[in-house]
A and B are shown apart, each in its own frame.
Chain A
Amino acid sequence: MEGELAHIGAGLAAIGSGAAAIGVGTVAGNYLAGALRNPSAAAGQTATLFIGLAFAEALGIFAFLVSLLLMFAV
C-alpha cells in the first residue's frame, strides 16, 4: 500500500516537469522575441539566456528528483 502511494506521488511530482517546460519555454520565447526585435543586442544576452534556462530547468529537475526518490528510495 505504501509503495503504491509512493508511485502515485512520483507521478504527481512528474507534473513539475511540465511546469518547468512552461518556464523554459517562457525564457526561450521571450529571448527570441527580444532577439528578433533587436538582433544586435542578442549576442550579449546569450549568457543571461542560459542562466535563466538553467534556473528554470533546475526546478524541473528537482521535481524529477522527488519523483525518483519516491520511486526508488522511499
Chain B
Amino acid sequence: MATEDKAEGGLVFHPLDQFIVKPFFGDGPVQWYTVTNVTIWMGISLLAIVGVFVLGSRGRAIVPSRIQSIGELIYGFIYKMVEDVTGKDGVKYFPYIMTLFLFILFANYLALIPMSYSPTSMIAVTAVLGFGVFICVTILGFVKNGASFLSLFWMSDAPAILRPIIAVIEVISYFVRPVSHSIRLAGNIMAGHAVLKVFAGFAALTLVSPVAIFGIVAIYGLEVLVAGIQAYVFTILTCVYLKDALHPHH
C-alpha cells in the first residue's frame, strides 16, 4: 500500500481518505439504507437549495431580496441555456435540467467547505447522473423520432464511402458519452480535493509549509472555479444531448 510505505518516511499522505463513506450515527457496516456522511451532505445540499429557492423566494417580491435574486439569476441562466441549446421544445425539460444543475452546483460548492464531504466526487453518484441522462435522452430520442433517431449516426452530407466508417465512430462516441460525462465531473472534483490533501500533507514539513499553504490557497481558488464550471459543463452537455435527441438531423 502506497500510503503505508510513505508513513515510515514521516510524510503521511492519505489523499483519498476524505472520500471514505462511513455511517453518520455510530459504527457498523454501510447498508444501502444507512445514513452516512454522503447522505448528510446530500441532505445539506437539499436544504441549501430549499433555503435559496423556496425560503428565499417566499416574499414573491417584485423588487427581489438578495437571496431571491440569486435564485432568479440561476433560474434565468439555466432557462436561457436550455432555450438556446435545445430550442423552444426543450423548455419542458427545464425542471429536470435545473434539478441536475442545482444538485451538482450545491454539492460541488458545499464540498469546498473544510471537513465536508463531496458526493459529486464519487463515481457511483456521477455515474447515476450521467447514465441517467444518457438513458433518458436515448429513450426520448426513440420515442420522439422513432427509427429516424438513428439518422443521428448517419452523416448524410458526408461522402458515401465514408458514411459507414463515420457511423461506427459516431456510435462509439455516443456510447462513450455517459462515461466521459460522469467521469469528467467525478474526476475533476476528486482530483481537486486529492491535490488539496497532498498539499496539506506537504504543509506538515516546516521547510516547505509556506509554499504548501500558498499552494493550498491557489488550488482552492482554482477549485472554486472548477466547481462552478463543472456544474455548468455537465448541464450544458445534458442540454446538447437533449438537443440531439429532439433534433437528430444535423
Contact = CB atoms under 8 A, between A and B. Distances in A.
Chain B binds chain A:
yes
A71 interface: yes
B89 interface: no
Given A47-B81, A57-B184, A64 B16 contact: no
Interface of A: 3, 7, 47, 50-51, 53-55, 57-58, 61-62, 64-65, 68, 71-72
What 3 A-B pairs are tightest by C-beta distance, nearest first?
A: A61-B187, A54-B233, A58-B184
B187 A62 contact: yes
A58 B183 contact: yes
Interface of B: 2, 16, 81, 84-85, 180, 183-184, 187-188, 190-191, 194, 229-230, 232-233, 236-237, 240
Given A47-B81, A47-B84, A47-B85, A61 B237 contact: no
Contact of A72 (B2, B184, B236, B240): B2
10 contacts: A3-B2, A51-B240, A54-B229, A57-B184, A58-B180, A58-B184, A61-B188, A64-B187, A65-B183, A72-B16
A73 to B, nearest CB: 10
Nearest to B187: A61
Contacts of A71: 2
A58 B187 contact: yes
Given A7-B2, A72-B2, A51 B183 contact: no
A61 B236 contact: no
- Which of B16, B180, B187, B190 is packed against the most chain A CB atoms within 10 Å? B187
A64 B195 CA distance: 11
Contacts of A54: 184, 229-230, 233, 237
Contacts of A72: 2, 16
